Amino acid sequence: MAVQTRVVSIFFIQLVLLAVSGLNRVSGAGLQTGFYDESCPEAETIALKTIRQAISKDGIVAAALLRLHFHDCFVRGCEASVLLDAAEEGDAEKDASSNFSLRGYDVVDDVKSAIEKSCPGVVSCADILALAARDAVRLTGGSSWKVETGRRDGRISLSKEADENLPSSNFNIAQLKQNFAFKGLTKKDLVVLSGAHTIGVTSCFVINDRLYNFTALDPTFASELKKKCKPGGGGPVLELDQGSSTVSDAHFYKAVRQNRGLLTSDAALLNDPLTRAYVKRQSTSPVKATFGKDFGKSMVKMGGIGVLTGNEGEIRKRCAFVN
């Protein structure tokens, strides 16, 4: 999910456009588990091996791969448009302000290259993103789930669509619920998928307004952060889930309940009865398995947003370029 502020008016304009276009639907039609069992039986094994090697060299890559899948699915659907380079300078999704801190493209390219050697022209970049997100979670101690595959790759990527569609780290609960609803996702999906912030980092710049202009943060925690983050946003990178940012678990919810969630959008989960109840339940009970199961279900659901299947789109030879 995005960690940059967007102009709220643009957000509401896009909601209207989405309602008209129908690009928000979650269908998943045409996807199935084991889609490559015959055409490329080693695909998932190759992906897992490549991703394990990448994470062993740089643990933060796990969160980056998970985030890539989120940012792809929320714009045009899960069809790998986030991976495309711009046809014109600065005009692809990866060039948008909401995507400026995305990384992990090189790992996706490595997975694609390795699979292409075994099964050329068979496995889509969109499916690689879905597999990479699952593997990133399980390789950092989280649960696993069966990824439905069979996606094909899109041919269009526009920076303005990323800024218009991605939820902001500064969204309140009403904005978050509406954003997710237009993708066919429920309030439970919202609070569950927010748990992706159990791994990864953010910057002082992203939390500057929340830190210096609001009082929702735990006072002691806010004082600690102000020692690191200067007014204006200068400072080091920060763990999204303090003390547990390399392990996929339910600890994130404990931090949110204690008013130690770094992002405004994380704190917003306490402002709705259903999402607040979920935060409380995950933070007070030994329910790692429950969260893991919930997360897998919501990831599968999100992975079906606006997919291309059958003869739609293409199977890119290289993930950054249309064929």
| 251 catalytic per annotation | no
Annotated binding site for Ca(2+): 72, 75, 77, 81, 93, 198, 241, 249
Residues marked as binding for substrate?
A: 167
* Known binding-site residue numbers for heme b: 197
Convert the chain into a string of H (helix), E (strand) and C (coil). CCCCCCCHHHHHHHHHHHHHHCCCCECCCCCECCCCCCCCCCHHHHHHHHHHHHHHHCCCHHHHHHHHHHHHHCCCCCCCHHHCCCCCCCCCHHHCHHHCCCCCHHHHHHHHHHHHHHCCCCCCHHHHHHHHHHHHHHCCCCCCCCCCECCEECCCCCHHHHHHHCCCCCCCHHHHHHHHHCCCCCHHHHHHHHHHHHCCEEEHHHHHHHHHHCCCCCHHHHHHHHHHCCCCCCCCEEECCCCCCCCCCCHHHHHHHCCCCCCHHHHHHHHCHHHHHHHHHHHHCCCHHHHHHHHHHHHHHHCCECCECCCCCECCCECCECC
Q: Which residues are annotated as a binding site?
A: 72, 75, 77, 81, 93, 167, 197-198, 241, 249
Of 6, 67, 71, 151, catalytic = 71
Q: Which of the residues are catalytic?
A: 71
